[in-house]
Amino acid sequence: MNDYETLLQAIEQLWPELPALIGADWPQLAAQLAPLLAQIRSDPANGAVPAAQIMMLFAPHDEARIRLIMTRQDLQEAAEREVIKGFTFGVTQPAAPALVTRYTDIACPRRVWLGAQRITVVVRLTVNAPQASASLQTLTLDPAQPVQVRLTAPNFILLSPPLQPIEILPQADSAPVVFDLRPDVVGHTTLTFDFAQGNQPVGTATVPVEITAYQVIEGDEPRPAHSLTFQPGLTPPDLVLQIALEKDALVFTLLREGGAWWRTFPPVPLQQGSASFAIDLYRSIANLVDAEDPTVQAVLGTRLTIPAEDVDRRMKKLGQNLWAMLLPDELKALYAAERAAWANKTLLILSDEPHLPWELVWPYDSAGQWSDDAPWCGTLLMTRWLRKDGRGNGNEMPPGALSLSRLVVLAPAYSLLSNLEGAQRERDELVDLAVSYGVQAVSPAEPTWGGVLDLLEGGDYDWLHAAAHGNFHAASPDGDSALWLAHDRALTPQDLAGPEIAAHLMAVRPGFFFNACQVGRQGWALTRIGGFANRLIGAGAGLFIAPLWEVLDDSALAFAREFYSALLDQKTVADAARSARLAIRAAGDPTWLAYTVYAHPNARLRRENAPG
């Protein structure tokens, strides 16, 4: 009995229990399971991919996943006991052949034209790990048996047999096998190579390929679209992760070494709109800020206070679900292999998807071998940026040197809204701190709507900090999302239009820190991404920081204090932000995870900000 047969038997054995183990997600999961189970039954020799997909479906449901693993182990142990019973004691069994290690060496174009009549894919098994393989996998093989390699190529027409043998040569690389294909459908796809000996799978390799509607040079590798520009002399981020939203799917491209190394991963289809998913996610987090059980509140309509340690575990589960659902398997595998090397690296996220909190992604191993101690915003020096496009989104170059010489701090008092007890204290502390470094405080006496617009249009500032109420409105992110000023007047992203404001933002590249609930969030406006981040960054701001959800007053003040102290001491933006997060991390308080930072991770204040 092979691994896939035990998986099928385990699921069949557990099937009556699965609705209770999975819960409300069971109907959708059952519908996704059915074709994968049928695929394994019909073609067990190529069950590696559907089996892995099945285990990923179970990954978010811990109880069901653990039961499935235990049931499989029981079945495997029972099968092994039956094998042992079949041995004749006293009779010498033939010695098992010595196994050998070989590596997959796959030559494959990564971008091809739909009009190409034929492309060629070459597969070898090599004694030493090749440097240029499109997908490198390590195979442990019986040298006495040929290896069967089966190619599955969605969006292509196969012009050669899909199953071909490779002979294992002693101490030598194998002869190549060649697959001929013709592109058939435009879009991203994945070639899957399943390797087997006899009926036993021994490994799987995958290669993402893009089929384009336009002609490309043969052998030309795809380059990430809308590349980011960095200032000369500025150390680039260690890692840049571009996340594009293409036809209801997320496409991830990882860049290193300033773009000299890159890899695009297979798309992750979205079965639910990211906007509605994000609304539910942020609603759950808002309940956790109040230490209330979100499921009890939603289903039973009852407020149930939960312990601080449960709040932390729920936040971790939310982040782990983002990792499980949104990240492509190949990127997860790369991260797992290089996890130690990624720690403390600078990571810049470029996302065309405006809703999802990538800061909260919390990596873990679905087999239970490891789990990170914190999400990406805690283990990496992480910031975001918005790359420029034709719809008025983003900005092509994040500055490496930021000015903080003329500081505005807005701390409004309200009539209808409740006054924030910590806002005035935050203003006083930040002004005192900045002045000690030679910064001028140029705040208006009262931050009224008209007075703030006069200040923005006059341009007599290079940094603006607000300690105020805020809100995000998903249906109208530019018109109804607001930073609330004195006399309960709302400053919205669309108020930040006009030539005077735009000219100052582009010339000075000022920094903005809105310490106000929810204003770090974005959504789709009529023709582009809406929200304060895109409005300010797209117009030229060099930095924007704000919470993605509700934050606690004392924690928000402490975050701002720690961030500015580190920044004024010449720490990078990413280092200052992570230091501030970790400084305020406390049981039961998700505020440390709430902040999103748009800036170059290696940006610093100009040297004139020295202690006075």
- Condensed to tens digits (0 to 9), the pLDDT of residues 346-384 reads 999 988 777 888 999 999 998 889 999 999 999 999 999
Closest CA to 418 of 368, 360, 469: 469
| pLDDT 10s digits, 434-453 | 999 999 999 988 999 999 99
Token pair in block for residue 506:
């582009």
Helix pair 48-58, 26-42: axis angle to 10 deg: 160
Q: Is 370 left (phi over 0), alpha (psi -120 to 50) or beta?
A: beta
pLDDT at position 292 over 70: no
pLDDT at position 222 over 50: no
**Residue 180 three-state SS:** strand
C-alpha 162/C-alpha 477 separation (Å) is 50
Can you give the pLDDT at residue 227? 47
For residue 516, the one-letter residue type is: A
Can you give the pLDDT at residue 516? 76
Give the range with max mean pLDDT: 145-149, 226-230, 489-493, 547-551. 145-149
Helical spans, DSSP H, in 509-546: 532-539
Q: In what order do the strands lie in the sheet with 111-113?
A: 111-113, 200-212, 187-197, 147-152, 163-166
297: confidence class by pLDDT, cuts 50, 70, 90: low
Q: Is 489 left (phi over 0), alpha (psi -120 to 50) or beta?
A: beta
289: confidence class by pLDDT, cuts 50, 70, 90: confident
pLDDT at position 518 over 80: no
Can you give the pLDDT at residue 275? 72
C-alpha 316/C-alpha 363 separation (Å) is 10
Q: Please, how many CA atoms are within 13 Å of residue 11, restricted to the half-sphere of its CB?
A: 20
Are the beta carbons of 64 and 24 closer than 8 angstroms? no
**Residue percentage of the chain with pLDDT more than 70:** 85
Element (H, E) at 555: helix 553-568
Can you give the pLDDT at residue 442? 93
389: confidence class by pLDDT, cuts 50, 70, 90: low
Higher pLDDT: 271 or 393? It is 271
Beta bridge partners of 189: 209
pLDDT at position 225 over 80: no
For residue 313, the one-letter residue type is: R
187: confidence class by pLDDT, cuts 50, 70, 90: confident
User: Is residue 259 packed enough to be buried (19+ CB in 10 Å), middle (13-18) or exposed (0-12)?
Assistant: middle
pLDDT at position 193 over 50: yes
221-230, 243-252, 387-396, 422-431: range with lowest mean pLDDT: 221-230
Beta bridge partners of 491: 483
What's phi and psi for 180, nearest 5 deg? -105, 135
In whole numbers, what is the pLDDT of the chain averaged over residues? 83
173-182, 208-217, 300-309, 492-501: range with lowest mean pLDDT: 300-309
Closest CA to 612 of 405, 327, 474, 409: 405
Are the beta carbons of 589 and 552 closer than 8 angstroms? yes
Can you give the pLDDT at residue 77? 67
Token pair in block for residue 408:
């505005």
Closest CA to 143 of 164, 123, 172: 172
Q: Please, how many CA atoms are within 13 Å of residue 114, restricted to the half-sphere of its CB?
A: 9
DSSP state letter for 257: G
C-alpha 449/C-alpha 406 separation (Å) is 20
C-alpha 149/C-alpha 159 separation (Å) is 16
**Residue 493 three-state SS:** helix
75: confidence class by pLDDT, cuts 50, 70, 90: confident
| pLDDT 10s digits, 556-578 | 899 999 999 999 999 999 999 99
Higher pLDDT: 46 or 384? It is 384
Give the range with max mean pLDDT: 27-36, 309-318, 480-489. 309-318
Are the beta carbons of 236 and 255 closer than 8 angstroms? no
C-alpha 366/C-alpha 487 separation (Å) is 52
526: confidence class by pLDDT, cuts 50, 70, 90: very low
Q: What is the pTM of this model?
A: 0.66
Residue 386, Cβ neighbours under 10 Å: how many? 24
Give the range with max mean pLDDT: 228-237, 286-295, 456-465, 518-527. 456-465
What's phi and psi for 293, nearest 5 deg? -70, 115
286: confidence class by pLDDT, cuts 50, 70, 90: confident
Closest CA to 2 of 60, 101, 71, 72: 72
90-99, 172-181, 219-228, 359-368: range with lowest mean pLDDT: 219-228
Q: Integer distance in angstroms from the first to the last C-alpha of the chain?
A: 75
C-alpha 318/C-alpha 308 separation (Å) is 16
Are the beta carbons of 349 and 577 closer than 8 angstroms? no
265: confidence class by pLDDT, cuts 50, 70, 90: confident
345: confidence class by pLDDT, cuts 50, 70, 90: very high
pLDDT at position 524 over 70: no
CA-CA distances (angstroms) from residue 547 to 124, 172, 396, 516? 51, 58, 24, 7
Token pair in block for residue 477:
């992110």
386-390, 397-401, 478-482: range with lowest mean pLDDT: 478-482
68-77, 205-214, 366-375, 586-595: range with lowest mean pLDDT: 68-77
117-126, 154-163, 377-386, 388-397: range with lowest mean pLDDT: 388-397
Can you give the pLDDT at residue 14? 82
Can you give the pLDDT at residue 507? 92
